[in-house]
């Protein structure tokens, strides 16, 4: 792998950057792999990377119907945090967040993880109580997270409207100092480059059309480029999970809906932290390029169109314009949507399925960008050893029959 650094950059500059090679190959599919991962989003790519890196499993393909990173990984609002309430969630998200801290170095690809601090605003007494509970739980699980006063929030976010006559007076915030954002595309590209370099084949433009089984065991996949044999197959396709599940006869507690986002035109820095406001359903950060990155709600109806309806984004902007009155004269530059996979309890599913050799990682819904490294790590371990990694174990499919739901909706409202 060509090393990336300021020195190689300078060396290549001399030659007008003609010396750079491919970040990843575009190989033809082999007829057989030990493991096939369906879906080259962040989760699929990270899984492949850790299979190769930590388990020495390199006869692996990641099969992608379009361009790698083109799913939700390439279209999310990039919020990273781990201040979740339930122990199971806190464990996996904090594992993930801590991996983000060293990810650029691990991958030798600057994913621009920016732990610039994240505020979840409390605007009702009820919300305040809920977040206090979060803070206590987080502290006892060893996650750096605490309540801060309205004054402290205002100091960090001067553009916030804290007028006592505001519709919802600010009562404080749950603050995670090392929550933040990362450059979403770079996470996919960094893992892709890392995995490719370790020998993983990334097969783009190769939609999976079938999952073949014999006697309750998986045998391979059909793709638009032909059949590929595999000993193990993992479905990591987010919004398309049901369609892949149907190919393997899985019954899944999943619905696909569109989640929306938009950006403003770029402006000079006005917001140096990430804010989330559950009461009014809005969240916002400012990217390094200067756009305000605004996350909206999901449309309620099942939707595979990757474009959303206007009311959801309107609702969010209306709220944010109230919290940050100065944005009224800024302009919306682009809006888009992704197809998110919502489970019955809004928590992910990671683990084995009833089909031997078939694994599932999905249900990250509106909040799985932050979990890419952690999920990849525990999922790779689960596949390699054919048993759930302890952190993944509570997220098995069986929880829905048992009623052992992992419900995070308690105070946050939004789950990003």
Partner 1 sequence: MSGKPYRIPSSRSQGAFGRLIDRDAALSFTFDDKTYTGFKGDTLASALLANGVRLFGRSFKYHRPRGVIAAGPEEPNALVSVGSGATHEPNNRITDVELYDGLVATSQNRWPSLAFDVSAINNTFSRLIPSGFYYKTFMWPAKLWPHYEHIIRHAAGLGTAPQEEDEAVYEQVHVNCDVLIAGGGIAGLAAALAAAEVGARVIIADLSPRFGGAADCIDGKIDSAAPLAWAKKAVKKLAAMDNVYILPRTTVTGHYDHNWVLMCERLSDHISEADRLANRPRHRLWKVRAKKVIVATGAFERPLTFANNDRPGVMLASAARSYATRYGVTPGERAVIFTNNDDAYLTALTLQDAGVSVPKIIDVREDTKSALISRAEDAGIEIIHSSVISNVETSFGGTSIEGVQIATRTATGRLAQPFARIECDLVCMSGGWNPAVHLFAHVNGSVRFDDTLQTFRPDQTSEAIVAIGAANGHFDLSTTIDESFDKGYAAGKSATGKSRPKKAVPPKARQDERSPLEALWFAPAKGSLNEGNKHFIDFQNDVTAADIELAAREGYRSVEHLKRYTTLGMATDQGKTSNISALGILADTLNTTIPAAGATRFRPPFTPFSLGSIAGTQAKHLFQPVRRTPIATWHHDNNCDMEPVGLWRRPFCYRHGTEDRQAAITREILATREKAGIIDLSSLGKIEVKGPDAGVFLDRIYSNVFSTLKPGRCRYGLMMNEDGFLFDDGVTVRLAEDHFLMHTTSGNADRIVGWLEEWHQTEWPDLKLFITPVTENYTQFAVAGPHSRDILQKLESTIDFSREAFTPLDYKSGELCGVPVRIYRISFSGELSYEISVPANYGLAMWQALMVAGKEFGLTAYGTEPLHVMRAEKGFIAIGDETDGTVTPLDLDLGWAVSKKKVDYIGKRSLQRSFLKGDERKEMVGLLTDDPKEVLPDGCYAVEQLLDKPPMKMIGHVSSSYYSPTLNRSIAFGLIKNGRARMGDTLQFPLEDKVVSAKVVSPVFYDSEGERQNA
Partner 2 sequence: MLLIKCPICDCEGDETDFHYGGEGHIQRPTSSNPDKVGDEAQRDYLYVRKNPRGLHSERWLCERGCGKWFHALRDTATMVISKTYLITDKPPAELKKAGKK
Ligand X SMILES: Cc1cc2nc3c(=O)[nH]c(=O)nc-3n(C[C@H](O)[C@H](O)[C@H](O)COP(=O)(O)OP(=O)(O)OC[C@H]3O[C@@H](n4cnc5c(N)ncnc54)[C@H](O)[C@@H]3O)c2cc1C
User: Interface with ligand X by CB under 6 A: which residues?
Assistant: 38-44, 63-66, 70-73, 75-79, 207-208, 236-240, 244, 259-261, 295, 338, 340, 364, 366-370, 416
Q: Which does 35 bind (CB under 5 to 8 A by kind): ligand X, ligand FMN, partner 2, none?
A: none
Closest approach, Cβ 135 to partner 1, in A, equals 8
What is the three-class DSSP state of 387? coil
Q: How far apart are CA 38 and CA 247, in angstroms?
A: 12
Residue 370 touches ligand FMN, criterion: CB under 6 A: no
**CB of 333 within 8 A of CB of 292?**
no
**CB of 42 within 8 A of CB of 182?**
no
Q: Which does 291 bind (CB under 5 to 8 A by kind): ligand FMN, partner 2, ligand X, none?
A: ligand FMN
Q: How far apart are CA 194 and CA 24, in angstroms?
A: 8
Looking at beta carbons only, is 207 or 267 nearer to ligand X?
Answer: 207
Q: 175-234: which residues touch partner 1 (CB under 8 A)?
A: 183, 185-186, 189-190, 204
Write out the two tokens for 106: 């691990």
Q: Which does 343 bind (CB under 5 to 8 A by kind): partner 1, partner 2, ligand X, none?
A: partner 2
Closest approach, Cβ 299 to partner 2, in A, equals 8
Residue 255 touches partner 2, criterion: CB under 8 A: yes
Token pair 């638009």 in the structure block, residue: 224
Looking at beta carbons only, is 187 or 358 nearer to ligand FMN?
Answer: 187
Which residues sit opposite 282 in a β-bridge? Answer: 277
Q: How far apart are CA 53 and CA 47, in angstroms?
A: 10
Residue 370: HSE in the Cβ half-sphere, 13 Å Cα cutoff: 29
Q: 116-145: which residues touch partner 2 (CB under 8 A)?
A: none
Closest approach, Cβ 286 to partner 1, in A, equals 8
Residue 404 touches partner 2, criterion: CB under 8 A: no
Q: Which does 126 bind (CB under 5 to 8 A by kind): ligand FMN, ligand X, partner 1, none?
A: partner 1
**CB of 341 within 8 A of CB of 256?**
yes
Interface residue with partner 2, options 68, 128, 186, 254 (CB under 8 A): 254
Residue 300 touches partner 1, criterion: CB under 8 A: no
Q: How far apart are CA 354 and CA 340, in angstroms?
A: 24
Distance set, CA 3 to CA 161, 200, 249, 323 (Å): 46, 18, 44, 44
Which residues sit opposite 295 in a β-bridge? Answer: 261, 283
CB within 8 Å of 168: residues ≥ 6 apart: 123, 124, 279, 280
The contact set with partner 2 (CB under 8 A) reads 240, 242-243, 251-256, 300-305, 309-311, 343-344, 400-402
User: What residue ranges bind ligand FMN (CB under 6 A)?
Assistant: 74-78, 184, 263, 287, 289, 291, 293, 333-334, 336
């Amino acid at each position: 792998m060509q090393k990336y650094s300021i020195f190689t950059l300078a060396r290549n500059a001399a030659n007008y950057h003609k010396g750079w090679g491919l970040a990843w190959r575009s190989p033809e599919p082999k007829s057989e792999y030990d493991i096939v991962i369906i879906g080259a989003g962040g989760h699929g790519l990270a899984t492949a990377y850790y299979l190769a890196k930590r388990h020495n499993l390199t006869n692996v393909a990641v099969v992608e119907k379009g361009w790698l990173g083109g799913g939700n990984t390439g279209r999310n609002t990039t919020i990273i945090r781990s201040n979740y309430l339930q122990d199971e969630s806190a464990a996996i998200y904090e594992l993930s967040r801590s991996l983000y801290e060293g990810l650029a170095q691990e991958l030798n690809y600057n994913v621009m993880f920016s732990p610039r601090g994240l505020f979840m605003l409390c605007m009702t007494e009820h919300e305040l109580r809920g977040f206090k509970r979060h803070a206590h739980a987080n502290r006892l699980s060893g996650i750096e997270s605490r309540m801060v006063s309205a004054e402290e929030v205002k100091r960090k976010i001067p553009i916030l409207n804290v007028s006592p006559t505001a519709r919802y007076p600010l009562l404080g915030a749950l603050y995670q100092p090392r929550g933040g954002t990362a450059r979403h595309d770079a996470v996919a590209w960094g893992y892709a480059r890392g995995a490719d370099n370790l020998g993983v084949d990334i097969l783009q433009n190769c939609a999976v059309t079938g999952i073949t089984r014999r006697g309750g065991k998986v045998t391979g996949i059909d793709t638009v480029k032909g059949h590929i044999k595999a000993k193990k197959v993992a479905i990591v396709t987010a919004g398309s999970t049901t369609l892949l599940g149907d190919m393997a006869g899985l019954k899944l507690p999943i619905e696909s809906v569109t989640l929306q986002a938009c950006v403003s035109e770029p402006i000079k820095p006005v917001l140096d932290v990430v804010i989330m406001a559950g009461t009014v359903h809005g969240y916002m950060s400012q990217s390094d390029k200067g756009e305000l990155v605004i996350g909206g709600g999901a449309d309620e109806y099942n939707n595979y169109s990757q474009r959303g309806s206007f009311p959801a984004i309107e609702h969010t902007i209306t709220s944010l314009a109230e919290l940050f009155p100065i944005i009224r004269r800024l302009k919306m530059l682009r809006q888009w949507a992704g197809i998110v996979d919502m489970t019955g309890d809004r928590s992910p599913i990671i683990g084995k399925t009833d089909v031997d050799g078939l694994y599932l990682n999905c249900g990250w819904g509106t909040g799985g960008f932050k979990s890419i490294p952690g999920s990849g790590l525990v999922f790779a371990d689960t596949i390699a050893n054919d048993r759930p990694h302890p952190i993944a174990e509570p997220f098995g499919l069986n929880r829905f029959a048992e009623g052992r739901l992992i419900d995070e909706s308690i105070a946050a409202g939004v789950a990003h």
